[in-house]
Amino acid sequence: MPNIEDIAKELASKLKEHKADYIEAHLEDSVSSYITYRGKVLESIGKSASVGGNIRALVNGGWGFVSFNSLENIDERIELAVQEARIAGKGSSHLAKIPVVVDTASIGSKQNPVNIPLAHKKELLDSYNALIWKTPRLKTSNIGYGDAYKTSIFLNSEGSFIRQERSDVTLGMAAIASDGNQVQQANMSLGSPGDFTAMENLEGAVREMAAKAVGLLAAPQAKGGEYTVVLDPVLAGVFVHEAFGHLSEADFVYENDSMRELMVLGKKFGRPELNIIDGAAVPDLRGSFNYDDEGTPATKTHLIKEGVLVGRLHSRETAEKMGEKPTGNARAVNYRHPPIVRMTNTYIEQGETTFDEMISSIKEGVYARNWYGGTTSMEMFTFSAGEAFMIRDGKIAELVRPVVLTGNVFETLQNIDAIGDDLAMNQGGGCGKSGQSPLPVSNGSPHIRILKCLVGGK
């Protein structure tokens, strides 16, 4: 069977021969493994391989898309994609210009977690699961591990030919405790762009997670109301990704009249200390790469700079429609899907305030850490913290049950009045949009302080 390199070389000339305004091909060869536990039981373990690709054609402003998991008869797939585009096309085709690129981006065998024997991975996770279950009063637990190594080739009718290697590792664990009257949980989530050693030597963190779940059973519930709230880097990173990052994706803005009125470049969204960035050009993170899935070079994009909205995330199509520059944010979770506008590594830039300075002036407030759930609807958000502490007279006080934070993202951004000097990136989990999930991303922040934040409680 021919490999994707051979097929790609044959395709390079064929794409230029078809009568489309623009046409591109993605070919992909990937290997992945997974291990999951439910309670004390190993639920599933395995390794899989996949080869496939897609053709995307643009004719008169309409797109045609065909995916396939066989490298045979690709000529027919090209013709079908062009036919679909002709049917969909009702206007004219416009894509922002990008450089023609011929390049190879390799990562090396040390960053390929699939090379590590599955038995070794299971042995490590067995030890973590045993540690979890040494904690009394646990009801159940969950562990989910996954890794992947992918070689992809992108080529288009403009002459670009890009071969990229990418790898990914994730690990999520949760401990759930019960005293018969209530259930509490604690969790941890981490990942890396292929470095399996990030999954090792977590014994202390695993013990702490299990103990937290049990400790929350005795924690009181905070009184609901409006507080000054301090978020740790994990929860602040989730906030910037979920509540603001998705609003910065240009396809969402372009297609939504109310968001176009709100997300006006040049509008003040926060204090001068607030800077929010997204970019795959930030190295060594799960959302990092050299080129996006349209062949656009990776960038580092300021979304908010010194409190002012200055940018948004683009594909070639949205950049042209909105008269802005491509940012390298067209991404697909795999070859079965077309690229759409997605985040990469999204974070609040580091400030100058220490944590002690941040809490010192708070008479009564809440320190919220980690997270395990949340929803967003337009500019409104609701997030559940993983754990919380009261702040009293400038000091961290008693542990309370996890709190729910609710608010309007634009008002909340304006109410961020202190940004920490301790930026940290969270690389666990993944992003979902339009049926494509989980896409490798990272998000992060320093500690941040938010005035007048609504906290749910008793």
User: What is the spatial distance between Cα 83 and Cα 324, in angstroms, rounded to a whole number?
Assistant: 30
Confidence of residue 458 (pLDDT cuts 50, 70, 90): low
- Are residues 210 and 292 located together in one domain of the fold? no
- Are residues 209 and 235 located together in one domain of the fold? no
- Which residues have CB under 8 Å from 123's CB, separation 6+? none
Which CATH number covers residue 188? 3.30.2290.10
Confidence of residue 372 (pLDDT cuts 50, 70, 90): confident
Residue 345 near residue 280 (C-beta atoms within 8 A): yes
Residue 156 to residues 54, 84, 106, 439: CA-CA distances in angstroms? 12, 18, 20, 23
Instruction: Please say if the pLDDT value at position 427 is more than 70.
Output: yes
- Which residues have CB under 8 Å from 248's CB, separation 6+? 263, 278, 303, 311, 312, 313, 343
Kindly report, residue by residue over 28-38, the tens digit of the pLDDT: 999 999 999 99
Residue 425 in tokens: 């990136």
- Are residues 142 and 254 located together in one domain of the fold? no
Residue 174 in tokens: 């949760």
Confidence of residue 23 (pLDDT cuts 50, 70, 90): very high
Kindly report, residue by residue over 100-145, the tens digit of the pLDDT: 999 999 987 667 899 999 999 999 999 999 999 999 999 999 999 9
- Are residues 332 and 432 located together in one domain of the fold? yes
- Are residues 246 and 170 located together in one domain of the fold? no
- Are residues 315 and 446 located together in one domain of the fold? yes
User: What is the spatial distance between Cα 154 and Cα 26, in angstroms, rounded to a whole number?
Assistant: 5
| More confident position, 255 or 37 | 37
pLDDT of res. 300: 97
pLDDT of res. 318: 97
What type of residue is 232?
A: D
What share of the chain in percent tops pLDDT 70? 99
Kindly report, residue by residue over 430-445, the tens digit of the pLDDT: 999 999 999 999 999 9
pLDDT of res. 376: 87
- Are residues 170 and 294 located together in one domain of the fold? no
DSSP summary character for residue 245: I
Other Cβ atoms within 10 Å of 261 Cβ, number? 10
Instruction: Please say if the pLDDT value at position 396 is more than 80.
Output: yes
Give the structural domain span for 436.
225-456
Place of tokens 């490798």: 440
Give the residue from 361, 317, 243 showing the smallest Cα distance to 92: 317
- Are residues 409 and 271 located together in one domain of the fold? yes
Name the domain boundary from 218, 242, 277: 218
What type of residue is 183?
A: V
- Give me the half-sphere count of Cα atoms (radius 13 Å) on the Cβ side of residue 81: 27
- Are residues 379 and 321 located together in one domain of the fold? yes
**Strand, helix or coil at 457?**
coil
Provide φ and ψ at 9, rounded to 5°. -65, -40
**Cα dihedral sign for 165, 54, 298, 169?**
negative
DSSP of 215-274: HGGGPPPPPPEEEEEEE-HHHHHHHIIIIIIGGGBHHHHHT-HHHHHHS-TT-B-S-TT-
User: What is the spatial distance between Cα 319 and Cα 303, in angstroms, rounded to a whole number?
Assistant: 15
| Average pLDDT over all residues of the chain | 95
Kindly report, residue by residue over 71-103, the tens digit of the pLDDT: 899 999 999 999 999 999 999 999 999 999 999
Give the residue from 115, 85, 164 showing the smallest Cα distance to 332: 164
Cα 135-137-139 angle, rounded to 5 deg: 100
- Are residues 310 and 186 located together in one domain of the fold? no
User: What is the spatial distance between Cα 80 and Cα 78, in angstroms, rounded to a whole number?
Assistant: 5
DSSP of 178-225: E-SS-EEEEEEEEEESS-GGGGSS-HHHHHHHHHHHHHGGGPPPPPPE
User: What is the spatial distance between Cα 167 and Cα 49, in angstroms, rounded to a whole number?
Assistant: 14
- Paired strand residues for 454: 226, 406
Name the domain boundary from 192, 218, 244: 218
pLDDT of res. 1: 56
Residue 215 to residues 187, 232, 401: CA-CA distances in angstroms? 13, 20, 9
Count of structural domains within the chain: 2
- Are residues 99 and 230 located together in one domain of the fold? no
Residue 65 near residue 81 (C-beta atoms within 8 A): yes
Place of tokens 């590792």: 169
Kindly report, residue by residue over 308-327, the tens digit of the pLDDT: 999 999 999 999 999 999 99
Residue 165 near residue 149 (C-beta atoms within 8 A): yes
Residue 421 in tokens: 């000097």
E strand intervals along 352-441: 364-377, 380-392, 395-400, 404-408, 416-419, 424-426, 431-433, 436-439
- Which residues have CB under 8 Å from 5's CB, separation 6+? 153, 163
Name the domain boundary from 196, 218, 240: 218
- Are residues 42 and 84 located together in one domain of the fold? yes
